Structure 1
């Protein structure tokens, strides 16, 4: 994923070129890449008109709904009082034709918007090859993530990944010690080790990864398993990966991570089990994100697309001096 700052009109073209290049790399046809260009242009110009600029995050994705390019437009402007009204063609607060949000919605396979007066606007647009609109997959814990390097760095020292497991799904966030290429090497080693492991407990995964990361500078790692058949989340962590459970009533539970660095000193690796009922969000973040966030202060955000939630947290709580990863998963049990 790449962040493109959009503070003046000249940066709209950079955002468009970045998105089109990624679309072409993902096998998009010329026509589909053109659709990406239209959506990104509208996202960027809307930020300039209504939010005094912001950041456009551009990356690829692959999950149960398919694969493609995702774009997140994040600003801290005045926000929208009525998102549904703003989506209608012809509605404008700046004297323009008022077709921007409609064009985004028509061009994307998935669109989600979170905005509130005085709280800025966040828009997620996901585009795939072809124009067929896809319905949201059911009976799947959906997820999304933001993972970006510190400003001025090309390599991201964080990593996250997901895989299916017996009775559920397993997610991992790794934060390589420090930042830059050596931190990225440690995070990538964690991902490779994680993907190669069988269906064992998160603590056992950490123990194996501890040995695999010895040649690297080490990493903080958090692993959460959605054991849907047992109606629980099992978590094991070493280091400063913050792990949080949030239910529909904004009841917050902080999951426990032990001190240490995977690959160097990690004396305690223990599984902690947390019962879940109904729908629960699992949020894992590296320490590039400040810990003072509270979804309760964003009415309605809890129910939005996980990638949109991750983007809002990145926008408002990014410390600005380290790599940042925000992973959000939604576990649903009957």
Structure 2
């Protein structure tokens, strides 16, 4: 496990959890990942408890439960994150469910209480009748600042790799987001996206349109991709956005307003018109949501009370669960700007 390239570690592994055997596989995968990251033994043990309880709760209570096990990183350290998603009955009173002794299925309700004690950070959102999303992180030492942005990708059913990908960077005072959808699916689509991510991370600190131009040049030897780059600037009250192809971007305002952002027609690496950059208003507390065409646009934030106040990874997982389609790779990228 330790010899696995860093990028593959960070992409993580999805598990569909419907029986106790798969729940055990989630725990073992989390332990192996923590060992590969050289986490201290006591934190590996804490992670094992978290993973066992989280996956076990899916077996007991949930419907269509899935878990993503992946690496999370800062410049100083690496930890393990579990994204736990279900379409089960949901919870009307999350705080009560967290308390030991409460259960919705006739069993001891110790799972969420144990998770909250052992985890470095956790966040949960649940809607009765729609299901629950839990994001939990275990870090080796200390507690980093919360993520300002996070993404999730899921491959087409039957594929082992996703052609969708994302990257987040802060360079010379600019915060920028990339969401990419390699043409088609499978290994060649994933290769195009990996090249876009590599080029994005190395690109100079320039506005989004210039970054998109650089990515267009970098993808010439691949099958190409749809992609978009966003640069939120809360101090100026705007978000700058440039894209090529079918990437959807939306600004979700705290008052319920919704503003779409425009990408130009084209295929990065092959066909493009002039890349154009647009500025959109960005109110304090707004959420920026970007997704590939493996996610439908019918998702409505009003159906998820309080969701936009949660961590970006919880928002992304909720959208992926309810608006992602299984006949295509799917990717969601969220920035929450308080």
Shift of 1:289: 1.2
Give the TM-score normalised by structure 2.
0.92
1:171 and 1:66 map into 2 onto residues whose CA distance is 22
Taking a change above 3 Å as real, the CA distance of residues 150 and 55 of structure 1, as seen in their structure-2 partners, is: same
1:64 and 1:105 map into 2 onto residues whose CA distance is 25
Is residue 102 of structure 2 the alignment partner of residue 102 of structure 1? Answer: no
Runs of 4+ residues deviating >6 angstroms: none
Is residue 325 of structure 2 the alignment partner of residue 319 of structure 1? Answer: yes
Deviations, residues 105-136 of structure 1 (Å, cap 9, x unaligned): 01111111111221111111111114x5x375
Taking a change above 3 Å as real, the CA distance of residues 152 and 50 of structure 1, as seen in their structure-2 partners, is: same
Report SS of the residue matched to 1:206. helix
Which of 189, 194, 197 pairs up with 2:200?
194
Q: What aligned pairs does 1:80-229 form with structure 2 within 5 A after superposition?
A: 80-130=91-141, 132=142, 134=143, 136=145, 142-229=148-235
Is residue 85 of structure 2 the alignment partner of residue 74 of structure 1? Answer: yes
Q: Where does residue 9 of structure 1 map in the other structure?
A: 20
Q: Where does residue 44 of structure 1 map in the other structure?
A: 55
Report SS of the residue matched to 2:89. coil
Contact 1:2-1:148 within 8 A present in 2 as well? no
Cα RMSD (Å): 1.7
Corresponding pairs, count = 327
Taking a change above 3 Å as real, the CA distance of residues 19 and 171 of structure 1, as seen in their structure-2 partners, is: same
Is residue 311 of structure 2 the alignment partner of residue 301 of structure 1? Answer: no
Deviations, residues 285-332 of structure 1 (Å, cap 9, x unaligned): 111112211111111101001001111111111211222211100123
Unaligned runs of 5+ in 2: 1-11
1:155 and 1:95 map into 2 onto residues whose CA distance is 38
Which of 290, 298, 301 pairs up with 2:296?
290
1:14 and 1:208 map into 2 onto residues whose CA distance is 41
Deviations, residues 151-187 of structure 1 (Å, cap 9, x unaligned): 2222221221111134430110111101111111111
Contact 1:65-1:136 within 8 A present in 2 as well? no
Taking a change above 3 Å as real, the CA distance of residues 101 and 236 of structure 1, as seen in their structure-2 partners, is: same
Q: What aligned pairs does 1:257-296 form with structure 2 within 5 A after superposition?
A: 257-296=263-302
Which of 24, 27, 37 pairs up with 1:26?
37
Is residue 259 of structure 2 the alignment partner of residue 253 of structure 1? Answer: yes
Q: Where does residue 57 of structure 1 map in the other structure?
A: 68
Q: Where does residue 232 of structure 1 map in the other structure?
A: 238
Contact 2:119-2:138 within 8 A present in 1 as well? yes
Report SS of the residue matched to 1:279. coil
Deviations, residues 252-298 of structure 1 (Å, cap 9, x unaligned): 00000111100011113100001222111111111111221111111
Q: Where does residue 6 of structure 2 map in the other structure?
A: none
Unaligned runs of 5+ in 1: none
Give the TM-score normalised by structure 1.
0.93
Contact 2:234-2:284 within 8 A present in 1 as well? no
Contact 1:168-1:228 within 8 A present in 2 as well? no
Shift of 1:226: 1.5
